[in-house]
Structure 1
Amino acid sequence: MLEPDQQDEQRATLAELLRELRQAAGLSGERLAARCAMSQAKISRMETGKILPSVIDVEQIVAALAVPDDAAEKLVALARVANVGYTSWRSLARTGLWRGQLEIKALHESSQVVRQFLPAIPSGLLQTPDYARQVLTSTVKGRPERDVDKMLEARLSWQRVLEETDRRFEFVLTEQAVRWRRAPVSVMAGQSANLAALSERENVEISVVPLSSEIRASPLNLFVIYDERLVTVELFSGTVALRGPRDIAYHLELFEFFRSHALTGEEATGLLCSIAEEFRRETE
């Protein structure tokens, strides 16, 4: 996986190679665009590195230029690498982890439909302030230091996007994610009740995969799909961004697969309410 400076280098190399291949073939940008059913402006932006070509874009270009198979395979492989971005928490910590919350806010504000698969913990969009503070406070040795107050302020600010009814938010959580005791019982009770309340909003769908379900697939990672243009996958060490159409299609299929095994609507709300009540009773 690549850090941001290495990603930029890969993208610049890809742009340069595309330009050189077109020039070697003796084609103008306009003629290549016609062969690929693209605009000349798009070809120009790809060759200057202003936009990142998708794997499909590169496949169309090498086919139009009749690039030899071995060279074409290398170029397509480079496109795949360039379309996968990796940002480590340590890299982000150098400029302030709280800035990452602002980037997430911008992604949500630029999307009409956001889908989140949450096998281990509720999304920051769904967290109460008390629960979020517990989550943002580092407890594992080796994790980067963070300004919890700044991160919390930023997280709470982007939760307001849920109030924009022209956007839709779909969440699939495992029951384990709801029950995992990431905070004191009193905080867990409030967090579970918050999930139940949010599930009743018209533009929010919260589905819960019950522990009793038999599912022949493993929920390996938290991932978020922004419209059908970007997937982010969260790891312990950082976040991977996937922009390739096939990667996005695969994660859409995964999302629907897990949702098909989940409780939805009133059943999901009922389960969340019952979990909140269980936690509440423990505080008595």
Structure 2
Amino acid sequence: MTLEPESLGQSRSDLAEALRRERKRAGHTQTWLAKRCNMSQTKISNIEGGKLTPTIVDVELILEALQAGGKLVPEILALARTANTEWQDDWSSLRRGLDKKQNELARLENVTREFRYFLPTMITSLLATPEYIRASVSRNSGDMSKTVAKKVERQRVLLDDSKRFTFLLTEQAVRWPLVKPVAMGMQLDHLASVSRIPTVRLGVIPLGLTPIAETPLNVFTCYDRRLVTVETATGALVLRDHRDVNAYREDFDRYEQYALFDDACRALLSEWAEIFTRQRP
């Protein structure tokens, strides 16, 4: 199935209709189906009404209970996979206000316990100095001061003892000169400081030390086993299918093998910071 961003909302209603139609074809009530799937009748009703997007596992359980077969099963599962994918384009975020996007991220961070950030291109705002953050949003029109303030405010989540963060940054991401050399030196010193926070595990993948068989394509973040966000040049995909989440977690585990952590990481950051600070403004 080809994924078109504008089709995502339609896929949810198509999935709801397909599941409702299949239940009626099998001659069963919502109450019967709920008992067979160990779900509440309210959940089945919300799924069939399009108010709740079922997970892939939910759909598999429903189809098995209804003894669905033939070409119908892969078609409905394809709808479920698309329905569990969300496209967030940058233009919509700009229209609503980037500060509101920061509020959404803060809510997601509030309910997440384990975070995995793979950063092959630049430093995420959770690890950034205010000057670096301002530079990262400078291409957007309008007053970005509120957005910068929200991004800085979100950094407090790193001090929450109930959460665990792992950040993997490539050397390119760390050394990309987004701000002036002195500011870059300060940014790298900040990374070293953040790496000492007990809830944070920060690793850098240096270039040239060893062959790396993996080929990174995108920035991505894993939120528990709940979802993954994958960033592109014009927006982000939000993936909730457990197969997608597991695939990105496995990718993260492979990249992690190439990273340096703790004192070895801080030694590299200090060396690169010194290179920046020796440069002229």
Instruction: Indicate whether the TM-score tops 0.5.
Output: yes
For 2:64, the aligned partner's letter is A
Task: Give the conservation status (yes or no) of the 8 Å contact 2:159–2:197.
Answer: no
For 1:262, the aligned partner's letter is A
Q: 1:239 and 2:236 equivalent?
A: yes
- Name the CA shift for 1:2/1:85 in 2 (closer, same or farther; >3 Å): farther
For 1:273, the aligned partner's letter is S
Task: Give the conservation status (yes or no) of the 8 Å contact 1:207–1:268.
Answer: yes
User: What do the CA deviations read for 1:175-221 (whole angstroms, capped 9, x no partner)?
Assistant: 11101111111110111000000001110000111112311111110
Q: 1:211 and 2:202 equivalent?
A: no
Separation in 1 of the partners of 2:98 and 2:199? Answer: 29
Task: Tell me the equivalent position of 1:22.
Answer: 23
**Equivalent of residue 256 in structure 1, options 233, 249, 253:** 253
Shift of the alpha carbon at 1:127?
0.5
Q: Which runs of 5+ in 1 are unaligned?
A: 139-143
**1:263-274 map, 5 Å:** 263-274=260-271
For 1:190, the aligned partner's letter is M
C-alpha RMSD of the superposition: 1.7
Task: Tell me the equivalent position of 2:78.
Answer: 77
Task: Tell me the equivalent position of 1:220.
Answer: 217
Describe the SS at the equivalent of 1:178.
Answer: helix
Task: Tell me the equivalent position of 1:67.
Answer: 68
- How many pairs align? 278
Separation in 2 of the partners of 1:90 and 1:73? Answer: 34
**1:54-203 map, 5 Å:** 54-138=55-139, 145-203=141-199
Q: Which runs of 5+ in 2 are unaligned?
A: none
Separation in 2 of the partners of 1:106 and 1:235? Answer: 22
Shift of the alpha carbon at 1:23?
1.9
Shift of the alpha carbon at 1:108?
1.1
User: What TM-score results when the alignment is normalised by the length of structure 2?
Assistant: 0.93
Task: Give the conservation status (yes or no) of the 8 Å contact 1:98–1:147.
Answer: no
Task: Give the conservation status (yes or no) of the 8 Å contact 2:118–2:168.
Answer: yes
For 1:23, the aligned partner's letter is K
Shift of the alpha carbon at 1:263?
0.5
- Name the CA shift for 1:7/1:165 in 2 (closer, same or farther; >3 Å): same
Task: Give the conservation status (yes or no) of the 8 Å contact 1:2–1:87.
Answer: no
Task: Give the conservation status (yes or no) of the 8 Å contact 2:47–2:54.
Answer: yes
Task: Give the conservation status (yes or no) of the 8 Å contact 1:2–1:85.
Answer: no
- Name the CA shift for 1:179/1:82 in 2 (closer, same or farther; >3 Å): same
User: What do the CA deviations read for 1:4-57 (whole angstroms, capped 9, x no partner)?
Assistant: x74333212212221222122111223223333434343233222332111222
Separation in 1 of the partners of 2:225 and 2:154? Answer: 21
Percent sequence identity over matched residues? Answer: 38
Separation in 1 of the partners of 2:70 and 2:60? Answer: 11
User: What TM-score results when the alignment is normalised by the length of structure 1?
Assistant: 0.92
Shift of the alpha carbon at 1:76?
0.8
Separation in 1 of the partners of 2:107 and 2:28? Answer: 39
Separation in 1 of the partners of 2:69 and 2:20? Answer: 16
Separation in 2 of the partners of 1:124 and 1:46? Answer: 36
For 2:49, the aligned partner's letter is T
Structure 1 segments of 4 or more deviating over 6 A?
none
Shift of the alpha carbon at 1:146?
4.8
Task: Give the conservation status (yes or no) of the 8 Å contact 2:189–2:270.
Answer: yes
Separation in 2 of the partners of 1:145 and 1:89? Answer: 13
Separation in 2 of the partners of 1:65 and 1:88? Answer: 37
